[in-house]
Amino acid sequence: MMNSPKHQSFRRSLAWVSMVKHIRAAGGFSLPHCPACNTLFYPPQRFCPKCLNGHIEYQADTGVATVLSSTRLHVTFDETFETGAPVQVVNVRTDTGVTLFAFADEPFSPGCRVAVYLEGDEVEGAESLHARPLLSEIRGEKNDELE
């Protein structure tokens, strides 16, 4: 298990809080979606980054993604993550085309298939995105079966 970042009490944007509430209520991964221009995006924002529409919805997403890069952070300037360092971070592109960063329990090679999910303490507001390998990666299969 990775050294999880020790989250201190810190502020989250209203857009992040809104996305987390939606994910928790829906029981699955979701991404911000602009109904005006049909754009999925991340990170969550108050306005669509493409058309600046202020009505943002959330669209269910499998969270299945391809790893673009992976790195291990040994030093951070953010005291929130000091006690958890080093941490493994991956940059992934979801099958719906959204690129994001997530914590990982292990290093992943570019091209690996992973599932992105929300993890953390809802009460303390310490949720963050994490990635885990798909069962197909573990088994060496071609299909993308979620754990």
Per-residue pLDDT of 88-106, as tens digits, reads: 999 999 999 999 999 998 9
| Distance (Å, whole) CA 16 – CA 128 | 10
Q: Where are the domains of the chain?
A: 11-61, 63-138
Task: Render each residue's pLDDT in the chain as its tens digit; 147 residues.
Answer: 444 444 444 567 888 888 888 888 888 889 999 999 999 999 999 999 999 999 999 999 999 999 999 999 888 776 666 666 788 999 999 999 999 999 998 999 999 999 999 887 665 557 889 999 997 665 555 555 554
Closest CA to 125 of 5, 27, 17: 17
Q: Note the pTM of the prediction, 2 decimals.
A: 0.78
> Domain spanning 63-138 has what CATH number?
2.40.50
Give yes or no for a contact between 58 and 48, defined as CB atoms under 8 angstroms apart: no
pLDDT digits (tens, 9 = 90+) for 102-130: 999 899 999 999 999 988 766 555 788 99
For residue 48, the one-letter residue type is C
